[in-house]
């Protein structure tokens, strides 16, 4: 082990407890699923559950165990390629759209892989990792927490393709009624945006920088399914003037007429959830809309989407009451996903984590019901292509105050 130091017993115990807690949470998410469930890839953007379970172990093995734990033996050299996601700097990758074709290794093999990695990681943690390794351990845990939300996003899409409307878990997606709508004034001026330096943050949350904002108002809650239903009833999906050009092309090409997982029944709308299909509640926040749909709805409503700087200012509210913005769904902003002024990705392969995706994506802020506890923060920057709909994304509106 390079540059190791012996940690205090309290420090080692806390790091071990966190490691075990995160790893156990991933296994718990997979527990309601059969081996067959864990195999399916329902579209190119979705990964099989067992691939997610393997990839977290691949991260720890590749970036921590091989370079930092003397004598560590890889579980299976073939996994170096099979479970590499997008880290070109560490070698070849198996094509993402074909992950569902990997019937082998089996789910049992993947679970054995996780146990192998867990035992070795506990040795590394107990032995006293270097400062650099300790940072990578936390990055790996945060990365696994991201994949925990992806497990739920992806298995929801997988199960939605089954006409029997199977249930993942009856308690997985509880209905939430939105409170009354209010518009909250936010001051203009020069604001500090980005991670301030205390605690963990991904590299794309920094550097902290100044942004000028004109006064604006932001909605106190997300757009509801009932409000979005009014947009549909008013011909929202049949009115090209409400849509960005690429968005309208997507509507026509994909045949969109409602958010993902909505279905028009004889007596109204239903939506598919992780708890199965149920009647749409008009008071619950709308979920599974693309950036194009969020933008079109905002135009129809005579409002707009907030920029990510506006969103963050409202969430931190210096000198005032912060708006509760980490909510049931991630929220589209009007901001393209780019680097902050002075952004520099980390050196080496881990620098491929965020920076290489800073093109053709839009930024989302907040969190969703599926975001692991403690993983959300006001500076967190999520990002997806503007046509994507399978993540837990909703709409919060804003408007100019002048």
- Judge whether 106 and 35 are in contact, CB under 8 Å: yes
Residue 312 lies in a domain: yes
If asked whether residues 88 and 209 sit together in one domain, one would say no
If asked whether residues 208 and 133 sit together in one domain, one would say no
Would you state the pLDDT for residue 1?
Answer: 41
pLDDT tens digits for range 165-199: 999 998 888 888 889 999 999 989 999 999 988 89
Position 253 pLDDT exceeds 80: yes
If asked whether residues 135 and 234 sit together in one domain, one would say no
Range of the domain at 376: 183-400
CA distances from 67 to 2, 20, 60, 70, 117 (A): 8, 21, 10, 8, 14
Residue 174 lies in a domain: no
CA distances from 10 to 54, 126, 131, 139, 200 (A): 30, 11, 16, 20, 19
- How many domains is the chain partitioned into structurally? 2
Residue 206, preceding bond cis, omega within 30 degrees?
Answer: no
| pTM, rounded to two decimals | 0.95
pLDDT tens digits for range 106-161: 999 999 999 999 999 999 999 999 999 999 999 999 999 999 999 999 999 999 99
If asked whether residues 382 and 258 sit together in one domain, one would say yes
Question: Binning pLDDT at 50, 70 and 90, where does residue 290 land?
Answer: very high
CA-based angle 60:63:67, to the nearest 5?
A: 115
Residue 2 lies in a domain: no
If asked whether residues 380 and 263 sit together in one domain, one would say yes
If asked whether residues 134 and 269 sit together in one domain, one would say no
If asked whether residues 130 and 190 sit together in one domain, one would say no
pLDDT tens digits for range 292-304: 999 999 999 999 9
pLDDT tens digits for range 326-373: 889 999 999 999 999 999 988 888 887 888 999 999 999 999 999 999
Q: Which CATH number belongs to the domain containing residue 226 in this structure?
A: 3.90.1580.10
pLDDT tens digits for range 31-70: 999 999 999 999 999 999 999 999 999 999 999 999 999 9
Could you count the other beta carbons within 10 Å of the beta carbon of residue 195? 21
């Amino acid at each position: 082990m390079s540059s190791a130091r012996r940690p205090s017993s309290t420090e080692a115990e806390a790091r071990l407890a966190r490691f075990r807690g995160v790893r156990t949470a991933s296994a718990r998410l997979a527990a309601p699923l059969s081996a067959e469930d864990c195999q399916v890839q329902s579209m190119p953007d979705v990964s099989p559950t067992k691939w997610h379970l393997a990839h977290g172990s691949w991260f720890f093995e590749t970036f921590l165990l091989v370079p930092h734990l003397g004598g560590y033996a890889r579980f299976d050299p073939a996994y170096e390629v099979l479970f590499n996601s997008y880290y070109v700097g560490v070698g070849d990758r198996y094509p993402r759209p074909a992950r569902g074709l990997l019937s082998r290794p089996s789910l049992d093999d993947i679970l054995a892989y996780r146990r192998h990695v867990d035992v070795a990681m506990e040795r590394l943690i107990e032995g006293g990792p270097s400062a650099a390794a300790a940072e990578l351990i936390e990055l790996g845990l945060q990365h696994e927490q991201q994949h925990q939300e992806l497990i739920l996003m992806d298995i929801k899409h997988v199960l939605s393709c089954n006409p029997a409307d199977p249930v993942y878990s009856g308690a997985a997606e509880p209905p939430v009624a939105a409170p009354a709508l209010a518009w909250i004034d936010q001051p203009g001026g020069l604001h500090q945006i980005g991670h301030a330096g205390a605690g963990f943050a991904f590299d794309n949350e920094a550097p902290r920088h100044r942004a000028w904002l004109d006064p604006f108002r932001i909605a106190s809650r997300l757009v509801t399914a009932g409000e979005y239903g009014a947009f549909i009833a008013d011909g929202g999906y049949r009115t090209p003037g409400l849509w960005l050009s690429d968005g309208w092309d997507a509507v026509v090409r994909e045949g969109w007429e409602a958010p993902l997982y909505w279905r028009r029944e004889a007596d109204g709308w239903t939506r598919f959830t992780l708890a199965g299909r149920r009647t749409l509640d008009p008071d619950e926040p709308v979920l599974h809309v693309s950036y194009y749909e969020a933008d079109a709805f905002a135009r129809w409503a005579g409002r707009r989407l907030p920029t990510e700087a506006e969103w963050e200012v409202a969430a931190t509210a210096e000198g005032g009451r912060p708006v509760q913005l980490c909510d049931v769904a991630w929220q589209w902003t009007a901001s393209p996903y780019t680097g902050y002024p002075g952004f520099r990705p980390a050196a080496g392969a881990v620098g491929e984590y965020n920076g290489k995706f800073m093109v053709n994506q839009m930024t989302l802020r907040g969190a969703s019901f599926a975001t692991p506890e403690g993983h959300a923060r006001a500076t967190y920057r999520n990002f997806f292509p503007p046509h994507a709909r399978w993540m837990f994304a909703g709409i919060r509106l804003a408007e100019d105050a002048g």
